[in-house]
């Protein structure tokens, strides 16, 4: 396989992936992995471009991971757009790793990774299965690819910290790189789930980043975080969100709760419009 091959080659098994990458590794070409669940948008593509700059060979995985969806979540209706995804990766990725569920979770599969630290609270309070499912599949993807680096978006900020913790704790020889959140002109973070929004809901969704900025400003002006969080929750409901799972100001490195702003922090939120759940975050 020659780097920058134009149309990416599609492989479906771990054995084939390793076989394609073995000669690349022998030549000591840097390999980058961008794990995705498909339904690719500009946010994903920005991560691929970022990886392309640093790596001679880029692998994009496309796998809708059932282990991170709860029984009442949207696994069945999660958008699957494989052909158009591959078309978007022409000239950007060298390999697309698209395994089946049976390839990643064969019969008799009985292992899950449990994570603590930054995984505790926030998303885990509402989706207790989520980070175990994420950690398990990410560990399997990293093992399958054996890349030099893997890139994850800051939009899923808690997930990014969980994966960094996972790699550090397991001593995996791979660099975890963060990619900046890509936003629409009105500030809404790009997400595959935005496709679920009706035009009216899409207008409401644009207020999520506005409220996050307002909360960040209040914290920077020395307002207690609890007061700023209450303001943010009320503001989202007033804007038309159906419900708010959380809006929280946390330490940017550990996600531990903080009472006042004394070091780098992050405001994170998850809220629903109808049946669509959106998440976002912003640095303070």
Distance CA 128, CA 7 (A): 39
Residues 6+ apart with CB under 8 A from 114: 132, 135
Q: Are 66 and 175 in contact (CB under 8 A)?
A: no
Selecting among 41, 44, 129, 238, the annotated active-site residue is 44
Give residue for tokens 């303001």. Answer: 231
Q: Are 257 and 242 in contact (CB under 8 A)?
A: no
Q: Is 129 among the residues known to form the active site?
A: no
Distance CA 83, CA 38 (A): 10
**174-196 per-residue burial string, b: 16 or more CB within 10 A, e: under 16:** bebbbbebbbeeebbbbbbebeb
- Angle, CA of 56, 58 and 64, to the nearest 5°: 170
Residues identified as active-site: 44
């Amino acid at each position: 396989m020659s780097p920058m091959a134009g149309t990416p080659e599609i492989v479906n098994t771990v054995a084939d992936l390793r076989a394609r990458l073995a000669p690349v590794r022998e030549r000591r070409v840097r390999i980058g992995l961008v794990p995705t669940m498909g339904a690719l948008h500009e946010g994903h593509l920005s991560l691929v471009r970022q990886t392309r700059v640093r790596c001679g060979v880029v692998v994009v995985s496309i796998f809708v991971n059932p282990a991170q969806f709860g029984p009442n979540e949207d696994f069945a209706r999660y958008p699957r757009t494989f052909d158009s995804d591959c078309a978007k990766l022409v000239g950007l990725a060298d390999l697309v790793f698209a395994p089946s569920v049976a390839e990643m979770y064969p019969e008799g599969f009985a292992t899950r990774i449990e994570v603590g630290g930054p995984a505790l609270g926030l998303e885990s309070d509402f989706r207790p299965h989520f980070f175990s499912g994420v950690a398990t599949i990410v560990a399997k993807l990293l093992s399958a690819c054996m890349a030099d680096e893997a890139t994850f978006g800051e939009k899923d900020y808690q997930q990014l910290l969980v994966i960094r913790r996972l790699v550090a704790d397991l001593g995996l020889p791979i660099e975890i790189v963060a990619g900046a959140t890509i936003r629409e002109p009105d500030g809404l973070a790009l997400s595959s789930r935005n496709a679920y929004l009706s035009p009216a809901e899409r207008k409401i969704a644009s207020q999520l980043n506005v409220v996050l900025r307002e909360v960040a400003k209040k914290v920077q002006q020395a307002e207690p975080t609890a007061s700023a969080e209450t303001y943010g929750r009320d503001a989202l409901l007033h804007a038309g969100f159906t419900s708010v799972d959380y809006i929280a100001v946390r330490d940017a490195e550990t996600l531990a709760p903080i009472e006042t702003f004394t070091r780098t922090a992050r405001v994170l939120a998850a809220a629903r419009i109808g049946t669509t759940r959106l998440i976002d975050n912003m640095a303070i």
